[in-house]
Amino acid sequence: MKRESYDVTGMSCAACSARVEKSVAALPGVEEVAVNLLKNSMTVSYDEGALSSADVVAAVVKAGYGASLRGGAGERREARGPAQDVALQEYLGLRTRLVASLVFALPLSYLSMGRMMGWPMPSCFLGVENALVFALTLLLLALPVAFINFKFFRVGFGALAHGSPNMDSLIALGSSAALVYGVYAIYRMAWAAGHGDVATVAHFSMDLYIESAGMILTLITLGKFFEARAKRRTSDAITRLMDLAPRTAVVERDGAEVEIPIEELERGEIAVVKSGQAIPADGVLTEGAAAVDESAITGESIPVDKVPGDRLVGATTVRGGWLKMRVTGVGEETTLARMGRLLTEAQTGKAPVQRLADKVSAVFVPAVIAIAAIAFATRLALGNPLEMALASAITVLVVACPCALGLATPTALLVGSGRASRLGILIKGPETLESAHGVQTIVLDKTGTLTTGTMAVSAVRPAEGVGERELLAAAAGVERGSEHPIAKAIVALAHERGIEPKAVESVAARAGNGVEGILDGRRIAAGTARWLAEEGVEGASGLGGEPGASVVGVALEGSLLGAFDIRDAVRPESAAAVAELKSLGLHPVLATGDNEAAASAVAAEVGIDDVRAGILPEGKVGIVEELRVAGQKVAMVGDGVNDAAALAGADLSIAMGSGADVAKEAADITVVSSDIRSVGAAIRISAQTLRIIKENLAWAFGYNVVAIPVAVAGFIVPGI
């Protein structure tokens, strides 16, 4: 079974995506097809013995849309390629169309409404004697709007020709009918003026419909612009993820170290990575030792000490030491690429919101066209003139044009987003609002979400006869030159308390163990209890610590000076935030790449009973999927690259503002302030905004339900 991704063009609503999906699903050998309207993409799984990609493209084209197979050069190239450019071009194009349309639509609206409302207007547009000037001016203002938004006509009439009318079809029919009738009315006015028929001139000057065409097109373009802006924000997630990978690698070739482009790196090669550099690909450490920051992949806040034989992951960073590695995975084989695929599949598989206006478009549009035709035919059957029969049909089409339907969602979204933004909450798009409704379980990342993501000393435990200041000064002296987060935490505490670190000479790191140096001619060491015990420090083996904390012991010339408990500090607001989520009826789950002890300690402190520790990115995705399969509607809160795929796969995803860009791009909601208490507020605002959208759509449809019969009756019933 082959699985391929395609770019699809020409889709404008759920009726379009449904037609594309139906057309491809009907092909023999197709097992699964998923069309993503938001991303203009399609994923197809099919039997390559019965079908080819050309057949899939042909089916989409036959349905009236465009399709092209995405290049097979890998997720990384795809992420940086056309997908992002298409979203940006669509956004910029719609912005230009909207601005240009408003230049003509605003004076058009003022002239048409001003005459009826008595607003100040030039005298050349007033009175029956100036009716032709008024009408021709409206036409000259409306025609540029129609030209600027010609895409509605091309797509709408194209869909109509293929037997799949959509909202664009109704927009095209309504605005075209209004323009055609307006031109007809101008000719009738000109003829009547030449024959002295003032009554006919006055009648048609108030019955032009020209302004309706211009305003319909402008208002719908405004709605499309809001949609394109939301769509553009979703296109950068995979790009940012893949940008974590280094562009070059240093490898050993012919006995020398050579820097090569990352694309030329091959499996089996020996790569050299020094402190501060990113590991170029997945591999196994063969020589040297180093502390590796894997937070981008696992979320683990403390760099992991690596020794020969340990597995290395591409895009992680060496924070101390150096290493040689044998490359075991490049390109599509790396953990980073796999995360990119997970993110892509999760986004593709999560269907965008099927707005109520789009859901019924397959019935609504043909029904309106049929009603207009019936009105036209009935009028003729009653013996009325062709002119009035045409006006009857046009009235129905213009009244039914979905201006309110197109604006109901984006307008409410803007209001809701504005309210949320004042609270430091950014809502990505309308699908977020529907996702927030009915969430039952919320999965919380630990590092950077419930905790600060920064190591801090939680306890200073000097040995008997040793003062805290003495212990801190000695420890800060030996740790001062280290880049390790634990060392930085000790030095930071000394600085905070105004303690000057002691002068330590000949400082050397001991990978996986700690650091040592010479203080006043005596050996000082700071590191793990295991290492100090191996070095013969009495009492080191018995060093305990707070649950989930890393313990660093300090010894001078074999005598224990004391120890520090260091941990990723829990945010002060986390416990209150979890309590609020519970009050909203949500079941919190803690999922983290950290070890069991650290995870359990944080969970106990904030009030979470369900803990999943030692979880890799694939595991977080699995947890979300497991809960969804169990019938739960799942929200995911995270901040790291390792959370991106799980965020994309959840029903509702929330990223903390202090986290990685890729997490924020993949999430439906971003909490700018990083205050986790805003998560509860975001869910409440989303639910309230969704309720408003539904009310707006109800009013919009209610208008059509009432207005269309009135429009028909106004022309059909004799005497009205």
Query: Nearest 5°: phi and psi at 263?
Result: -65, -20
Query: Nearest 5°: phi and psi at 416?
Result: -65, -40
Query: Nearest 5°: phi and psi at 264?
Result: -90, -5
Q: Report the C-alpha gap between 82 and 491 in whole angstroms.
A: 48
Residue pair 401/175 in contact by the 8 Å Cβ criterion: yes
Would you give the DSSP letter of residue 351? P
* Nearest to 343, CA basis, from 15, 120, 621: 621
- H-run or E-run covering 38: none
Active-site residue flag, 168: no
* Nearest to 553, CA basis, from 523, 520, 514, 522: 514
Residue pair 617/640 in contact by the 8 Å Cβ criterion: no
Q: Report the C-alpha gap between 181 and 390 in whole angstroms.
A: 8
Q: Report the C-alpha gap between 667 and 425 in whole angstroms.
A: 12
* Nearest to 663, CA basis, from 653, 674, 673, 677: 653
User: What radius of gyration do the chain's Cα atoms show?
Assistant: 33
Q: Report the C-alpha gap between 159 and 177 in whole angstroms.
A: 17
Tell me the DSSP string of 573-592: THHHHHHHHHHTT-EEEEE-
Q: Report the C-alpha gap between 281 and 271 in whole angstroms.
A: 9
- H-run or E-run covering 383: none
Please, what is the end-to-end C-alpha distance for the chain in angstroms? 64
User: SS3 letters for 462-505?
Assistant: ECCCCCHHHHHHHHHHHHCCCCCHHHHHHHHHHHHCCCCCCCCE
CA atoms lying within 13 Å on the CB side of residue 635: 29
Q: Report the C-alpha gap between 713 and 720 in whole angstroms.
A: 8
Tell me the DSSP string of 204-229: HHT---HHHHHHHHHHHHHHHHHHHH
Q: Which candidate in 236, 293, 445, 568 is catalytic?
A: 445
- H-run or E-run covering 264: none
User: Hey, how many other C-beta atoms are within 10 angstroms of the C-beta on 145?
Assistant: 25
**Neighbouring residues of 487: CB distance < 8 A, sequence distance ≥ 6:** 479, 480, 515
Would you give the DSSP letter of residue 615? -
- In terms of C-beta density within 10 A (0-12 exposed, 13-18 middle, 19 or more buried), how is residue 276 classed? exposed
Q: Report the C-alpha gap between 519 and 478 in whole angstroms.
A: 8
Active site positions, annotated: 445
